[in-house]
Structure 1
Amino acid sequence: MKINSNSIRIKDVTTHLGTFDISSNNKLEVFSFIINANDFDYKNATEQLLESVAEFALSRKINKEYKDKPLALSKKAREKFRDYTENKGELGEFFLYCFLEGHLGAPKILSKLELKTAKNMYVNGADGLHYLKLVDGNYHLIFGESKVEKKLTDGLRHAFESISDFKKGKNKKDNDKSGIMFERGLLNSNLDREIEDENEKLFLKSIIYPSTKSGFYVDDAFGIFVGFEFNYTDLQKLSNNDFREVIKDKIIEVTKKQIKNINKYVENYKLFGHTFYIYVLPFANIEDDREMILKELLS
C-alpha cells in the first residue's frame, strides 16, 4: 500500500518547528500553520488539503471507483461528516490522518469516518488505523487518537486517558465493542470494502494478526494529534520576520513544557512498550477556526 499523494501536502501548508524525543523512542512533533501577514494562513491550508478529504473519509476502493467522477466523490465524502457547526472531533481526525500519512509516512488502512453510515452516527474505537514499516523490517500498527481543545495540557491528558481506556476495552457505552482486539477484528472484517488487491489483503491480514510465519514482528503503537489554542494578538504589531521568530519560540516553549506530563501519563497508565507518535498544532481561536476550516473543507 502507498500513502495517498495528496496527504503529503500537509508538509507544504504547515511549518515543522521541531522534533522532541521523549523516553522510549517516543516523538513529539511540533507544527504551526504557515504565517501570512502575522496570521495563521488557514485559507492556503484548506485549499491545498481539499483533495485529502475524500482520501480520509472514504475507502481506497471507493476513491478508485470514483477517480473519474470528482464531483460525485466529493459529495460522497462530505456526506460522511456531521454538521460542521456542531462537530467537535472530525477536524482532529482529519489532521491526524494528514500527519500520519503525509509526515510520518504511515499509510491509512481505515478511518473511523469510513464506518459511519449516517452523518450523526457515533463510532467507538480508534480515530484511524495506520501501519508503518520500520527500518529493521518490522512494523507498527498505529491506533489513532485526536483531540482539539482549548488547552494543550487538557488535550494531551484526555488523549492518554482515552488510550488507556481503549487498551482496557472500556468505552462510553460500557459495552465490549472497543479495545485493541475488537479493533483488529473490525479492521479485518472491513478489508474487503477497503482493498481490492488480494496480495495487499493478505499482507494487511499479516499485520493485523501476525504469526511466526510472517517473517517480521508487529507492535501496537499510537498516533496522537492535539490541536490547541494559542493566542498571538499581542504579537501582531511586530514586523513579519520578528513575528515568525517570536511565535516559533513561544510555541516551542509551550509545547516542551508538556514533555514531563507525557512521560507521567505513560508511567501512570502503564503504557510502556508502546511507541507514541505525537503531533501538536496551534490555532488562534480553537472554536471559530475549527468551524471555519471545516466549512471551507466541506462546502
Structure 2
Amino acid sequence: MELSLRGTDFLGSFDLIWSKDLDEYKKNKLNLFVLKINSNEFDYDLLVDMLIDPVIDYSISRQVKEKYKDRAGTLSKKAREKFVEYTRNNGELGELLLFCFLESHLGAPKILTKLELKTSTSHYVNGADGVHFLKLENGNYQLIFGESKTYEDMSRAISDAFESIYNFKNGKNEKGNSKSGMHYEKSLISDNLFKESFSDEEREFLESLIYPTKERKFDVDDAFGIFIGFEVNIEKKDKAMPAPDFRNKIKALIIDEVTKRIKYIQKKIIDFDLQGHNFYIYVLPFTDIDSKRKIIMEAITK
C-alpha cells in the first residue's frame, strides 16, 4: 500500500532538532521538531501552505479520492467541507499534524483517520486519532493508533495523552458506552475497509493485520503514535536579536524544556502499564498556542 501523502513537502515546515530513544531496547522514540523561523518568528504561514494538500488526504477516503481524481477543485472543496463540519465540534490541529508526521516522517501509511471512523458511526467514542500501519525490518508489522494533545502546558499534555491511551487500550470512556477501546476500534476498521477503494489484495492484507489467521506469516503488535503540542514563551526583547542568535537561543530553550520531561514520559509509560508497546512521539512547540491553533485551522479550511 502506498502512503496517502505523496508529493508533499510537509517536513519542509520544520527543523528536526533530534530523535531520541527513550528506553534501552530502542522501542520508544521521541522526535523534537521546531517550526522554521523567519525574522525571529515561527513561520506559521509556511505551515499553513504545507497543510493545504494533506487536509484532503486526511479528510477524504481513498474511494472518494479515486472518484474525483480528475476533478481537483471538487475534491478540494469536498475535503474542506468535511473537515470544517468535523472540526466545528471536534477541532484538533494535533490530529492532522500527527497524521502528517506518521506518514511523512515515520513512513506509516494511513488505514483510516478519526474523522472517517467517527463519521461512520454515532457510537464512536474515546477512539484513536487515526490508525496507521508500519512494516518493520524483520518483516513483522505494527498497528499504530494515534493520540494527540495540544495544550499550553506540556506536562499536562503528556499526562493526558498516556491516560487516554490507557483508557483506549482498556475500553474505558466517560460516557460508559461499552462500544469503545482498541477491540471495538479494530472491528470498525474491518467494517470500513469495504467502504474504501482498496484492491482485494490490499483489503485481505489489512484484514490480516487486524485478525490473525493460520496462513499469516508475520506477527502484528499494537503501537502508538503521539503528538504533543505545547506553548513556549518568547520574550519580546529577544526578537531584537540577530536572527542566528535568536534561532540558537530559542532552540536551546525548547531543547531544555523537552529534555526535562523525558523522565516524566518514561514514568507515565510505566505508571499506565504500557511498557509492552512501541511509542512514536512527536513534540512541537507553539507561541500563543490557542490563538495560533485557531488561526491555522481557519486558514487551511477557507
| 2:66 pairs with one of 50, 59, 64 | 64
**Pairing partner for 2:228 from 220, 226, 229:** 226
Aligned to 2:272: 269
Unaligned runs of 5+ in 2: none
Equivalent residue in structure 1 for 2:292, among 275, 279, 289: 289
Q: Which is worse superposed, 200-209 or 190-199?
A: 190-199
Which residue is equivalent to 1:278? 281
* Distance apart, 1:83 and its partner CA: 6.5
Matches within 5 A, 1:1-299: 1-6=1-6, 8-23=8-23, 24=25, 25-82=27-84, 89-117=91-119, 123-234=125-236, 235-299=238-302
- Calculate the aligned-residue CA RMSD, in Å: 2.0
Shift of the 162–192 alpha-carbon distance from structure 1 to 2, 3 Å rule, reads same
Tell me the CA shift for residue 48 of structure 1.
Answer: 2.2
Task: Give the whole-Å Cα distance in 2 for the aligned partners of 1:87 and 1:238.
Answer: 41
Residue type of the alignment partner of 1:132:
L
Q: Secondary structure of 1:81's partner?
A: helix
Instruction: Look up the SS of the partner of 1:50 in the other structure.
Output: helix
Q: Contact 1:57–1:113 at 8 Å: present in 2 too?
A: yes
CA offsets per residue over residues 176-195 of structure 1, 9 Å max, x none? 11111111100000001123
Q: Answer yes or no: is the 8 Å Cα contact 2:126–2:168 preserved in 1.
A: no
Deviation of 1:248 after TM superposition, in Å, equals 1.3
Q: Distance in 1 between matches of 2:180 and 2:125?
A: 10
**Shift of the alpha carbon at 1:115?**
3.2
Shift of 1:45: 1.3
Cα-to-partner distance string for 1:123-180 (whole Å, 9 max, x where unaligned): 5410100000011111110000011100111111100000000011011211111111
Deviation, 1:76, is: 1.7
Secondary structure at the aligned position of 1:248 is classed as: helix
Q: Does structure 2 retain, via aligned residues, the 8 Å contact 1:169–1:180?
A: yes
Partner secondary structure for residue 227 of structure 1: strand
The answer on whether the counterparts of 1:13 and 1:34 sit within 8 Å (CA) in structure 2 is yes
Distance 1:88 1:292 in 2: 16
2-structure distance, mates of 1:156, 1:295: 26
CA shift in 2, pair 1:148/1:104, >3 Å: same
What is the alpha-carbon distance in structure 1 between the residues aligned to residue 188 and residue 124 of structure 2?
15
Are residues 51 and 28 of structure 1, via their aligned partners in 2, closer, same or farther at CA, if it must alter by over 3 Å?
same
In 2, distance between residues paired with 1:60 and 1:204? 14
Does the 8 Å CA contact 1:7/1:101 hold for their aligned counterparts? Answer: no
Q: How many angstroms does 1:67 deviate by?
A: 1.6
After superposition, the Cα gap between the structure-2 partners of 1:290 and 1:109, relative to the gap in structure 1 and judged at 3 Å, is same
> CA distance change for structure 1 residues 7 and 90 in 2, over 3 Å: closer, same or farther?
farther
Instruction: Indicate conservation of the 8 Å contact 1:89/1:148, yes or no.
Output: no
Give the length in aligned residue pairs.
298
* Equivalent-residue separation in structure 2 for 1:56 and 1:70 (angstroms): 15
What is the SS of the residue equivalent to 2:41?
coil
**Contact between 1:146 and 1:226, CA under 8 Å: does it hold in 2?**
yes
Query: Is contact 2:132-2:144 (8 Å) kept?
Result: yes
Alpha-carbon distance change, 68 to 85 in structure 1, aligned in 2, over 3 angstroms:
closer
* TM-score normalised according to structure 1 size: 0.94
Distance 1:7 1:222 in 2: 25
Over 3 Å counting, the alpha-carbon distance change for 1:49 and 1:127 in structure 2 is same
AA aligned opposite 1:149: Y
**1:16 to partner: Cα distance:** 0.6
Letter in 1 for 2:101: F
Q: Label 1:71 to 1:112 Cα distance change in 2 as closer, same or farther (>3 A).
A: same
- Amino acid across the alignment from 2:65: N
Residues 23-50 of structure 1: CA distance to partner in whole angstroms, max 9, x if unpaired? 2420000001111101111111111220
Aligned-residue offset at 1:68: 1.6
